[in-house]
Structure 1
């Protein structure tokens, strides 16, 4: 699910990637809300907060929201930069570096104590937004903009459009494509929601260690993809 790009991807690849990373995003989302009382998986709301603070002449706080936006943007920039760089050098796993950085960030923040989190809330929020920028750009690049996992606004918009299209009679191929797209979007929504529920329960008992769950899911997903690839390569060698 991490190696195939663009036209080489199938619905199964996208479903696997969507379910894995949406679950992670849901956990990070709820952990950020509970611990920092701010959005840590997308920047849509931060634009509104930024404008509100500017209107009230609270420029110091406005700069904080601007930093949140820049952190997410820099995460997206970094992710695609790493993918482009590795692809030019013929590395087989271009997604490895963005995933590794995300795992490192989530793990490092997970082990911070409550007092440290409270004292460095803005910095930690920037770290989580950078990690989610990495993830969102990674999944967008791999899926050719078909999958996004860190926010749901666009997903619900697309889902509403596609559900309305299904009602009207269309060619079989178009109906099949619509059903596949709806299935993918429902998967993302379901796993994001599940991540929020599971992450919230873990946070209730373990605090920011809930982020370790998100990091662990990423590692297990990568290991699964790597082992599956190695088995596939072994089968190809045996057939030759």
Structure 2
């Protein structure tokens, strides 16, 4: 799930990865809003709310909202540099290691929350950074087919897919194109559903367990990486020896 990447990546791996990480991201996003009053991954809403508060004179709160997209972008840039460094060094497990790094950083946030829950601004900026981090890793490994931390783009893709399918049915176009659009709809629909289910479970878990939810999410992220980390790397195929020169007939 975290080994194969690029255009040839099987669709089933995209679905498994999208559902797993969208579930966790939905839980963290909803729990963050329930606990701190901020969405860690809703960049459109954060920018709009920040602009609104600044316009109404609440400059400090507006600045916090506007810092969230900065944190999200920083996390995405950090993940991209990490992944690119690993790919350039031919580290086969770089995507699994990146998600494992996210799990470790989430544990740090969990410790901060346990020590001082009053550091709400630090916690929500940290969560936003991790959402950007995760989204960049998943986007890169799936060749830009999957997003897991927000559903605005996927909702648009679902609408486009439905429109394309209805158009194809109306004009009786080839079924091969329909299969491709149906596969995309399946991927995006499952991702949105997983994000929603994660949001419900996240709030329920946070009400019952508090900041322990961050450690549970970190453990789930680490579990997602295990198959990729434990898989034995494939041995490169040695090049074939050069063919002996042919003897010329006399």
Q: Do they fold alike, i.e. is TM over 0.5?
A: yes
Q: What displacement does 1:41 show?
A: 2.1
Which residue of structure 2 aligns with residue 24 of structure 1?
24
Q: Deviations over 1:151-202 (max 9, x none)?
A: 1111111112212322223212101101100110111012111211222221
More helix by share: 1
> Can you list the C-alpha shifts for 1:204-228, whole angstroms capped at 9, x where unaligned?
210121122211111111112334x
Cα 1:115–1:94 change in 2 (3 A) is closer
Is 1:139 the counterpart of 2:138? The answer is yes
- Distance of 1:70 and 1:184 partners within structure 2: 29
- Is contact 1:31-1:208 (8 Å) kept? no
Does the 8 Å CA contact 1:41/1:151 hold for their aligned counterparts? yes
Gaps of 5+ in 1: none
How well do the aligned residues superpose, as a CA RMSD in angstroms?
Answer: 1.9
- Which runs of 5 or more residues in structure 2 are unaligned? 238-250
Q: CA deviation at 1:36?
A: 0.5
| Residues in 2 aligned to 1:189 and 1:24: alpha-carbon distance in whole angstroms | 12
Counterpart of 2:94 in 1: which secondary structure? coil
70-79 or 188-197, larger mean C-alpha shift: 188-197
Q: Partner residue of 1:185?
A: 188
Q: Greater shift after overlay, 192-201 or 70-79?
A: 192-201
Question: How far does residue 109 in structure 1 lie from its aligned partner after superposition?
Answer: 2.4
Q: Which residue of 2 aligns with 1:152?
A: 151
Residue aligning to 1:93: 93
Contact 2:43–2:68 under 8 Å retained in 1: yes
Displacement after TM superposition at 1:142 (Å): 0.8
User: Given the two structures, how large is their TM-score scaled by the length of structure 1?
Assistant: 0.89
- Residue 88 of structure 1 and its aligned partner are, at CA, apart by 1.1
TM-score by length of 2: 0.86
Establish whether residue 226 from structure 1 lines up as the match of residue 225 from structure 2.
no
Match of 2:245 in 1: none
- What is the 5 A alignment of 1:172-211? 172-211=175-214
Q: 2:79 touches 2:136 (CA, 8 Å); kept in 1?
A: yes
Q: Which residue of 2 aligns with 1:66?
A: 66
- Which residue in the other structure is 1:48 paired with? 48
Query: Partners in 1 of 2:148 and 2:43 — Cα distance?
Result: 13
* Greater Cα radius of gyration, structure 1 or 2: 2
